[in-house]
Amino acid sequence: MTLSPTLTTSPLTCSLDIYHSGQQLLERRRSVNENGNDGSLYELSSPDGIRFGYYNVQSAEGGEVVINNMHPFMQLSYAVSGSKSYTIDDGKKEFATFQQQQYNYLFFKEDQIRLSWQPNKHLEIFELGLSPELFARWLPEDHPFYPVFAESLERNVSSPMSKHNLPLAPKFSNILYDILHCPLENRYKQLYIKAKTVELLSYQLEHYEQYAGEQMNNPARQLRKEEIERMYMAREIIVNNLNSPCSLIDLASQVGTNENYLKSHFKAVFGNTVFGYLSEIKMNQAKEMLLEGKSVSEVSALTGYKHIPHFSRAFKKHFGFSPNVLTRSKGRGD
């Protein structure tokens, strides 16, 4: 997605073409500090039919972008923080709305798309666009998405692939940040972006296939809307208190359930235990801080570890390599 370089309170208009002319990557990275908006943008376009966008913005009055889409494409859409909404048919039809830590697959036909976000909220989102040919090449024909995708493409109808947004697992976020912080350049960066896109799509397609199978085989496991909302509340409490987590009993009490329901419902919604989810977030944040140039000792303290060896062992167990590997790649030791 290529957005206008100026963010204002009135709707912006820009064009999007998933097909890339030329043989090289096109990139744009810039800071924004104008008209009540503050943040950063990064956009990348690959000849492989991949578009990647990262938008991290605080808007005093919210905003809206009108996107003139020139060709049908598949968009993997993620909300890390804040919320965003898409409308189609000249803004008359609500198409998709995302709350923080949600994602979905959106098929867009050649059409005008409106993306809007709320005022006074920190918005951090990723967008990963794929040409229909590329997505079809990587999507197994027996996957639950395939009939929806094939029908949308054949009838040329914009459609979400999943009726409900999916939880944004830390593993998926980690790959998105890997793409954002790719250390390579030129053709090797293009290869890296493609490989990471395949990796991300593989994990996500498997995740949805398991989710769909569980719901089909175990109808009783389907949770009510209020039960799912409680689990999102629990996750928000976890994310906001990473270094001083409360007990399972306290967490259950805060969201209005009991410990047993918390454990079973949380895993049903997010595919991980409460402790496992907390650990995964902390390790991913640690990796981000190391890539930004912080030392192992700094990151160890910031992630709540009193002893560096304990942090290093946990990091290596999670990623398969020592945190010192990342500090060496940045040209600094501890």
Which domain CATH number covers 98? 2.60.120.10
* 189 within some domain: no
* 56 within some domain: yes
- How far apart are the C-alpha atoms of 254 and 123, rounded to whole Å? 26
- How far apart are the C-alpha atoms of 213 and 210, rounded to whole Å? 5
Q: What is the rounded average pLDDT of the residues 275-291?
A: 87
Q: What is the rounded average pLDDT of the residues 142-168?
A: 91
* 1 within some domain: no
Output the average pLDDT for the chain: 85
Lowest mean pLDDT among 232-236, 238-242, 268-272: 268-272
Q: Which of 113-127, 207-221, 320-334 has the highest mean pLDDT?
A: 113-127
* 331 within some domain: no
Q: Tell me the two tokens of residue 312.
A: 């290093």
Please determine, for residue 1, whether its predicted confidence score (pLDDT) is greater than 90.
Answer: no
pLDDT tens across 60-108, in order? 777 788 888 889 999 999 998 888 999 987 667 888 999 888 999 999 9
The strand pairing partners of 84, in sequence order, are 98, 117
* 37 within some domain: yes
What angle, 0 to 180 degrees and rounded to 10, lies between the N-to-C axes of helices 259-270 and 274-291?
50
Please determine, for residue 259, whether its predicted confidence score (pLDDT) is greater than 80.
Answer: yes
Please determine, for residue 306, whether its predicted confidence score (pLDDT) is greater than 60.
Answer: yes
* 83 within some domain: yes
| Percent with pLDDT over 70 in the chain | 90
Please determine, for residue 219, whether its predicted confidence score (pLDDT) is greater than 80.
Answer: no
Q: Tell me the chain's radius of gyration from C-alpha atoms.
A: 20
* 6 within some domain: no
* 18 within some domain: yes
Give CA 98 to chain center in angstroms.
11
pLDDT at 77: 96
Q: How many domains does the chain have?
A: 1
- How far apart are the C-alpha atoms of 270 and 277, rounded to whole Å? 8
pLDDT tens across 4-59, in order? 434 444 567 777 888 876 778 899 888 877 767 788 889 999 999 999 999 998 88
Write the CA distances from 191 to 26, 198, 205, 325, integer angstroms: 14, 11, 21, 22
- Domain coverage including residue 137: 12-167
- How far apart are the C-alpha atoms of 286 and 323, rounded to whole Å? 9
14: DSSP letter: E
Q: State the pairing for strand pair 63-69/12-16.
A: parallel
pLDDT at 297: 93
Name the residue type at position 10: S
Name the residue type at position 178: D
Q: Which of 159, 160, 143 is CA-nearest to residue 202?
A: 143
